[in-house]
Amino acid sequence: MFDGMAAHSAEKLMAATSDSAQFVASTAGQSRLITREAFVKSNENNKAAALERIWEPKVRIRGTIADVWAEYDYHRDGKFDHCGIDAFQLVKEGAAWKIVSVIWTSEKEGCKPSPLGPPKS
């Protein structure tokens, strides 16, 4: 999914997500539901260089379902924009894992430094 976001590629984002995938952004106590189509379109229309990185993911898998919880940082056009927590739910469809939901916080302050160091240019 992050590769699709960086490439502004609808094809990659669609391949990483289930047909019914939903996205929820939680910022300052307000939550906003975003459909798969709206997320893909927004990403395609936003031509800023996007870099989202996660670290130390906590992954749980049982049969054909999984979840991933990880801290992240997001950089736009090479500059820090925000950080938070990404929480993914996935389902195995055939041989592929597909994202069925993503919820994330978006925080501008109080971000811990990433153990990945500064982004590489």
Average pLDDT of the chain, as a whole number: 95
> Where exactly are the structural domains of the chain?
2-105
Joined tokens for residue 78: 């090479």
- CB count in 10 Å sphere of residue 54: 17
**Residues in CB range of 113: below 8 A, 6 or more apart:** none
What are the tens digits of pLDDT across the range 40-79? 999 999 889 999 999 999 999 999 999 999 999 999 999 9
Rounded to two decimals, what is the model's pTM? 0.89
Burial class (CB within 10 angstroms; exposed 0-12, middle 13-18, buried 19+) of 10: middle
CATH no., domain 2-105? 3.10.450.50
Q: Which pLDDT does position 66 carry in this prediction?
A: 98
